[in-house]
Amino acid sequence: MLLLDFVRYQQNLKGTKIGCREGDCGACTVLIGELDNGQVKYRSATSCLTPLGNVNNKHIVTVEGVNMDDLNPIQQAMCETNGTQCGFCTPGFIVSMAGFCLSDKEPTYKNAIASVDGNICRCTGYKSIERALEKITALLEDKPSDAAAFVTEKGILPAYFTDIPEKLKLLSEQPNGADLAKPNKLFIGGGTDLYVQQHEAMVYADIDFVGAKPELKGITQQGDICTIGGATTVSEFAASPIIRKYFSNIDQFTKLVSSTPIRNIATFAGNFVNASPIGDFSIFFLALNAILELTDGITKRNIPLRQFYKGYKQLDKKPEEYISKFWFTLPDEKTLFNFEKVSKRTHLDIASVNTAISLVMAGSIITDASVSAGGVGPTPAYLSMASEFLKGRVISEKLIIKATQIAQTEVSPISDARGTGQYKRLLLSQLIKGHFIKLFPDLEVKQLISVV
Ligand SMILES: Cc1cc2nc3c(=O)[nH]c(=O)nc-3n(C[C@H](O)[C@H](O)[C@H](O)COP(=O)(O)OP(=O)(O)OC[C@H]3O[C@@H](n4cnc5c(N)ncnc54)[C@H](O)[C@@H]3O)c2cc1C
Ligand code: FES
Ligand code: FES
């Protein structure tokens, strides 16, 4: 059962709205709180794509859960700025804003705006909502790390939030009722692909909630190897101190992927196994030569992500195997990495074409190169010929143009809703050039810009 249906039809909490049921509009946003080092960490999520089985022992906050005797200051700010008109989107916005108040994010206006990036409003034109967010940001000045204590003391959210850590601790001591280990079930990570594509069928499916298994979570470093649990979410990845240390542009990359409530639940294993030719993290990790660990719960085997895709939505994976973790070599000071994506909208959209590159440099010589690209063939692609061509050569404009020409021989884009095949070829060349322009800002780029 979906969390949205549970909330509305079993709990009769009708403040959570149904808009698209596809993760796009944010009308169904709730907060999911879970224990993290004794405190409860709250993240916004689209309840229309969240299976109830993924939120066992977690605290779910709907819009009713942020109500106080009078309007709370978040609701008051929306009223004062005329941030609500027809009101259909308003509960989702209020919940996302409450999530921002409870989060460990720096209380800046920019972060406040980012917290509602998954909420769509068709009435207000957003300016009034932006003004509400200015007021809310001002309320959070001097917010310490224990956000729950702060927002309850200040009367921004109800006092009961401070009791939740103790309640969740008690719950975590109960035996976990979920049956997680039966073979031949449909694996579900965050559900952000499955519930969009097979919404009806999921009601009757026999599900293994791999996305809720704590042993499949986490990011660790051993030497220069970084290991990531298959059920780790995009938000957990972007917040990891390890990832932030080695990928200084990680916020720029991740904000191009879906929206905050989707990133909060979408997992890496789900992105790899969905096998969409434009899956952003498949492209990201193809360039980093990630190795996957597949297991059926008893035996394990490793396979490079580069060998995982066998054809359109065909994988080197048995039905009973799931991705438990994957690992890759962290970029050192000689390694340059970049990710580029073009979509019809900059945010909350899937790619027309995306690409990543990893280059190991010795002065101006490229000693190792990996280029990947999505949207230009039936699977996420590792461009082996272009990568090989770049190895051992001195960086120059001519070299880059030649590499884009070689890349063109490795791809077979089709025309679809995201652009014609010809347009996608053009995008691929421009994005590969874009990698070099970004990574080598001193490079003479006159020709790169003009030659297609
Ligand atoms: C509004 C919206 C915007 C989106 N935007 C983007 C975007 O910008 N870029 C992008 O790349 N994607 C995007 N997506 C797609 C989706 O969010 C990602 O592909 C996500 O990473 C899927 O992960 P999940 O855990 O939700 O997958 P799920 O839906 O849970 O599963 C997807 C597939 O993976 C399998 N699976 C899940 N976990 C495992 C496991 N551990 N082992 C084996 N198989 C497993 C499932 O059986 C299923 O076949 C978007 C989706 C939505 C709804
Ligand atoms: S109903 Fe639109 S995001 Fe859930
Ligand atoms: S107020 Fe009508 S959709 Fe936002």
Domain boundary residue, one of 123, 152, 173: 173
Q: How many CA atoms lie within 13 A of 134 on its CB side?
A: 9
Helix (H) or strand (E) holding 228: strand 225-229
Burial status of residue 213 (CB atoms within 10 A of its CB: 0-12, 13-18, 19 or more): middle
**pLDDT score, position 447:** 65
pLDDT band at 291 (very low <50, low <70, confident <90, very high): very high
Question: Rounded to whole angstroms, how far apart are CA atoms 4 and 165?
Answer: 24
- Tokens in use for 210? 């791999």
Asked if residues 129 and 78 have their Cβ atoms less than 8 Å apart, the reply is yes
CATH number at residue 20: 1.10.150.120
- Are both 47 and 79 inside the same structural domain? yes
Residue 366's identity, in one-letter code, is I
Strands 59-61 and 29-36: antiparallel
- Are both 367 and 313 inside the same structural domain? no
Asked if residues 266 and 275 have their Cβ atoms less than 8 Å apart, the reply is no
pTM: 0.95
- Are both 70 and 162 inside the same structural domain? yes
What does the radius of gyration of the chain's CA atoms come to, in whole angstroms?
A: 23
pLDDT at residue 320 greater than cutoff 80:
yes
CATH number at residue 392: 3.30.390.50
**pLDDT score, position 182:** 58
Strands 207-208 and 186-187: parallel
Q: What spacing in Å lies between the alpha carbon of 60 and ligand 2's midpoint? A: 16
Higher pLDDT, 345 or 245: 245
Ligand 1, CB within 6 Å, residue ranges: 22-24, 186-194, 196, 210-211, 230-231, 257-258, 262, 266-267, 269-271, 273-274, 279-280, 322-323, 350
CATH number at residue 239: 3.30.465.10
- Are both 223 and 301 inside the same structural domain? yes
pLDDT at residue 119 greater than cutoff 60:
yes
Q: Which of 57-66, 140-149, 156-165 has the least mean pLDDT?
A: 140-149
Q: What spacing in Å lies between the alpha carbon of 364 and ligand 2's midpoint? A: 49
25, 88, 93: which to mutate for ligand 3, most atoms within 8 A of CB?
88
Q: What integer is the mean pLDDT of 154-166?
A: 96
Percent helix / strand / coil, the chain, rounded to 5: 40, 20, 40
Is residue 124 situated within a structural domain? yes
**pLDDT score, position 75:** 98
The residue among 433, 441, 438 whose CA lies nearest residue 397 is 433
Distances from the Cα of 359 to the Cαs of 288, 371, 394, 427, in angstroms? Answer: 10, 9, 12, 20
**pLDDT score, position 234:** 98
Residue 125 three-state SS: coil
Distances from the Cα of 312 to the Cαs of 71, 260, 273, in angstroms? Answer: 52, 28, 12
- Are both 300 and 218 inside the same structural domain? yes
Q: Which residue is listed with tokens 């010809």?
A: 422
- Are both 318 and 353 inside the same structural domain? no
Is residue 80 situated within a structural domain? yes
What is the tens place of the pLDDT at every residue in 419-452? Answer: 999 999 999 999 999 999 999 998 876 666 655 4
pLDDT band at 179 (very low <50, low <70, confident <90, very high): low
Domain enclosing residue 167, as ranges:
3-173
Question: Rounded to whole angstroms, how far apart are CA atoms 230 and 411?
Answer: 29
Q: What is the DSSP letter of 27?
A: T
* Other beta carbons within 10 Å of 347: 13
Is residue 178 situated within a structural domain? no
- Atom 27 in ligand 1: residue holding the nearest Cα: 270
The ligand 1 atom nearest the CA atom of 267: 25
**pLDDT score, position 199:** 85
- Are both 215 and 240 inside the same structural domain? yes
- Tokens in use for 137? 């940001």
pLDDT at residue 405 greater than cutoff 70:
yes
User: Which ligand is nearest the CA of 25, by number?
Assistant: 2
What is the tens place of the pLDDT at every residue in 352-377? Answer: 999 999 999 999 999 999 999 999 99
- Are both 162 and 27 inside the same structural domain? yes
Is residue 179 situated within a structural domain? no
- Are both 268 and 353 inside the same structural domain? no
Ligand 2, CB within 6 Å, residue ranges: 18-21, 23-28, 46, 48
- Are both 169 and 215 inside the same structural domain? no
- Tokens in use for 274? 């969905």
**pLDDT score, position 347:** 77
Average pLDDT in the chain? 94
pLDDT at residue 180 greater than cutoff 60:
no
**Residue spans of beta strands (DSSP E) within 313-352:** 314-315, 322-329, 335-342
Q: What spacing in Å lies between the alpha carbon of 126 and ligand 3's midpoint? A: 9
User: Which ligand is nearest the CA of 89, by number?
Assistant: 3
Domain boundary residue, one of 294, 329, 364: 329
The ligand 2 atom nearest the CA atom of 18: 1
First to last CA, the chain: 50
14, 16, 20: which to mutate for ligand 2, most atoms within 8 A of CB?
20
Helix (H) or strand (E) holding 222: strand 219-222
Q: What integer is the mean pLDDT of 398-408?
A: 96
The ligand 3 atom nearest the CA atom of 86: 2
- Atom 4 in ligand 3: residue holding the nearest Cα: 121
**Residue spans of beta strands (DSSP E) within 237-313:** 291-295, 300-304, 309-311
Q: What spacing in Å lies between the alpha carbon of 37 and ligand 2's midpoint? A: 31
Ligand 3, CB within 6 Å, residue ranges: 84-90, 121-124
pLDDT at residue 301 greater than cutoff 60:
yes
**pLDDT score, position 444:** 76
Domain count, the chain: 3
The ligand 2 atom nearest the CA atom of 26: 3
